[in-house]
Amino acid sequence: MVAQSTKRVVLFASGSGSNVENIVHYFQERRDVTIAMVLTNKRDAKVLDRCNRLNISALYFNKTAFSKSHGVVDILKGLKPDLIVLAGFLLKIPENLLHQFPDKIINIHPALLPKYGGKGMYGKHVHAAVKANQEGETGITIHYVNEQYDEGAIIHQAKTTLLATDSVDTIAEKVHQLEFAHFPKIIDQLLQQP
């Protein structure tokens, strides 16, 4: 019987890291999946504190290492990820990284793409636009990353109903609940694919 190899996940984050922590907790008892590292483009990102507390390796990189050299690509090659997950990561992924890891980079977006996607559409900006347009529903989209913001092939969407009385913060909380419920499970499903 052939031993099952451990699947390796690398997470990218720019902010507080609540999705990172949720994913780490989801896989913490698993022997077949490991969170190899968390990478961030912000030196003072709260995700670094979370990683410290969770005993997960984390690394800050600057813009040069990310988009003007092969620094981040070389780090990733050394980590040999089966999947690269953008969990609240705000920079556009450079083409050299996309070419090195085709169909291995996924993102979560806090709306039902193709609505409310594109440059500058993240976090509260998305929820404020959803509220301003009096949408009856919103949700999350998990998708592959390509050269354009939020235009990669859709893997999974989940919806939540909105009320006219919902504030931007209420919408954000509803979407956050969907992220927590669905993101780790979809990552797990992708890792199980041959």
Strands of the 33-40 sheet, one edge to the other: 58-60, 33-40, 7-13, 83-86, 105-109, 137-144, 154-161
Structure tokens belonging to residue 145? 């990353």
Point out the residues that are catalytic: 109
Q: What number of other Cβ atoms are within 10 A of residue 15's Cβ?
A: 18
Contact predicate 127/110, CB 8 Å: yes
Residues 11, 87 contacting (CB under 8 angstroms): yes
How many other CB atoms sit within 10 Å of the CB of residue 160?
16
| CA neighbor of 85 nearest in space, from 134, 130, 23, 164 | 23
Q: What is the DSSP string of 128-156?
A: HHHHHTT-SEEEEEEEE--SSTT-SPEEE
